[in-house]
Amino acid sequence: MEVQFAQRNLPSAKEMERAYKTSDVSYDGIFYLAVTSTGIFCRPSCSARKPLPKNVEYYSSSREAIFAGYRPCKRCKPLEVHGTPPDWVSKLLNMIDADPTARYNDQFLRSIKIDPARARRYFLKNYNMTFQAYCRGRRLGISFEKIRQGKDLDDVALGYGYQSHSGFRDAFAKTFGISPGKSKSGDCVLASWIESPMGPLIAAANKDGICLLEFSDRRMLDAQFATLRKLFKAPIVPGENKHILQLKKELQNYFEGTLKEFKTPIVFPGTDFQNKVWNELLKIPPGETASYEELAKRVGVPKGQRAVGHANGLNRIAIVIPCHRVVNKNGNLGGYGGGLWRKQKLLELERAR
C-alpha cells in the first residue's frame, strides 16, 4: 500500500519507520502512525506489536487520524497529552533559558546529538516557529524588556549576542516594528510553555496581564495568536514576565486541588457582547456549572444561546476564564475547544476539591 502523508513537514518515511519500530519516544507529537489492518492509530513510542510498513499511514496530528477514520490505541492512548516535552526538547529549552544570548546553530545541535531538521519540525509544530526563530525571539524578547527597564542600548545590543549595533537594530525593528530607541514606550506579547497533567499549555502575557492560555493542541491556537497580534498591535515572542510566572504557580496549585481563586491579572479585550459573556463566566463558582440558556439570560439575550456558545468558544484564557463550566441544558457537556475529555476532568477536579 502506498504510504499516505497528511502534511509536507512530516519526517521522511524511512525516518518515521525507524522511529516507530524502535519505539522512539522523542518522536511522540511529531507524527502518529495509523494501522490500516486494525483501524487504530498510535504514538511512535507505542509498545504494541509493530505493524508492517505496508499497513501504515502517517499523520501529523491525532485529529487528522481520527478524521481519516481511525480510532485511538487503548495501550498508548494517543489522545492523552502527557504535558512534558521529549527529553531532547526539554534539554534545549533549559539551555536557552540558562543562556539566551548563546548562538545555537545547526553545528551546535549536531554536537549534542540532535538533528537540526527534527528540532525545526518540533518547534514549528508546537511553537509555530522554527528552532532558530525561537532562539532569536528569546534574545530579542529579553533585550526588549531590558531596554524598557532603562538599560543602556549599547549594553543590551552587545550583551545579547549581537556583533554590531546595526545588526541589533535591524533584527529588533524586523521583529517589533519599531526601533530600539522607541521601545521604552512599546510592548510585546511574551509566550511560554506550561506543563500540566492534562497536556501542555501555551500562556501569553503583556505588561498588563495574561492575554492567552490555551492547550497547545487546540485547533484555534494559530487564530488566537493572530487575534492577539491584531488586538495588541504587538509581536509575540518567547519569554516570561511576572504574570506568566505567577500563573505557573497558580496553575500548579489548581491542578493539585489547593487553589481557591486565580489572582493573576488577565486582559481579554473583545466586543461588548463577548465581554459580557466572559465576565459572566468568571462568576460561575468552581465545582458548579451553568447552561448556555442560563448564560444567555444573564447577559440579556434569552434566546441567544448560539451567540453565547460562539463567544464561549472564542474565550482566549482557558481555565482562568472557566468556559469549561458551561454545559447543555440537559446537563451534557457540549463542546470544548480543548477536548471533551479535558472538560470532564476539569469539572471532576473542581468538584472533588
Q: Report CA torsion sign: 121, 124, 65, 332.
A: positive
**Cα separation, 241 vs 77, whole angstroms:** 34
Question: Domain limits of the chain?
Answer: 13-72, 87-185, 188-353
Cα torsion 72, 73, 79, 85 to 10°: value is: -140
Grid coordinates belonging to 48: 504494541
Same CATH topology for 87-185 and 188-353: the answer is yes
- Residue 171's pLDDT is 55
**Cα separation, 127 vs 122, whole angstroms:** 8
**Cα separation, 42 vs 55, whole angstroms:** 13
Across the range 147-159, mean pLDDT stands at 51
Grid coordinates belonging to 244: 506568566
Across the range 192-209, mean pLDDT stands at 86
Residues with catalytic roles: 323
**Cα separation, 82 vs 133, whole angstroms:** 25
- Per the prediction, the chain carries an average pLDDT of 80
- pLDDT tens for 42-54 read 999 998 889 999 9
End-to-end Cα separation, the chain, in angstroms: 51
* Bridge-based pairing state of the strands 32-35 and 40-42: antiparallel
Q: What order of strands is seen across the sheet that includes strand 236-238? A: 209-215, 201-206, 189-194, 236-238
**Cα separation, 150 vs 108, whole angstroms:** 33
CATH number of 87-185: 1.10.10.60
Amino acid at position 127, single letter? Y
Q: 325, 296, 298: which is closest to 311 by C-alpha?
A: 296
Pick the CATH number of 188-353 from 3.10.450.50, 1.10.10.10, 3.60.15.10, 2.40.10.410: 1.10.10.10
Is residue 38 predicted with pLDDT exceeding 50?
yes
Band of the pLDDT at 135, cuts 50, 70, 90? confident
Band of the pLDDT at 132, cuts 50, 70, 90? confident
Of 81 and 60, the one with more pLDDT: 60
**Cα separation, 91 vs 113, whole angstroms:** 11
- Residue 145's pLDDT is 59
CA–chain centroid gap for 10, Å, is 19
Of 3 and 101, the one with more pLDDT: 101
Q: What is the 3-state secondary structure (H, E, C) of the chain?
A: CCCCECCCCCCCHHHHHHHHHCCCHHHECCEEEEECCCCEEECCCCCCCCCCHHHEEEECCHHHHHHCCCEECCCCCCCCCCCCCCHHHHHHHHHHHHCCCCCCCHHHHHHCCCCHHHHHHHHHHHHCCCHHHHHHHHHHHHHHHHHHCCCCHHHHHHHCCCCCHHHHHHHHHHHHCCCHHHHHHCCCEEEEEECCCCCCEEEEEECCEEEEEEECCCCCHHHHHHHHHHHHCCCEEECCCHHHHHHHHHHHHHHHCCCCCCCCCECCCCCHHHHHHHHHHCCCCCCCCEEHHHHHHHCCCCCCHHHHHHHHHCCCECCCCCHHHEECCCCCCCCCCCCHHHHHHHHHHHHHC
- Residue 177's pLDDT is 54
- pLDDT tens for 208-225 read 999 999 987 676 777 788
CB 335 within 8 A of CB 311: no
- Residue 8's pLDDT is 44
- Residue 276's pLDDT is 94
- Residue 235's pLDDT is 75
- The predicted model scores a pTM of 0.59
Q: Which fold has domain 13-72?
A: DNA Methylphosphotriester Repair Domain (3.40.10)
Grid coordinates belonging to 174: 524586523
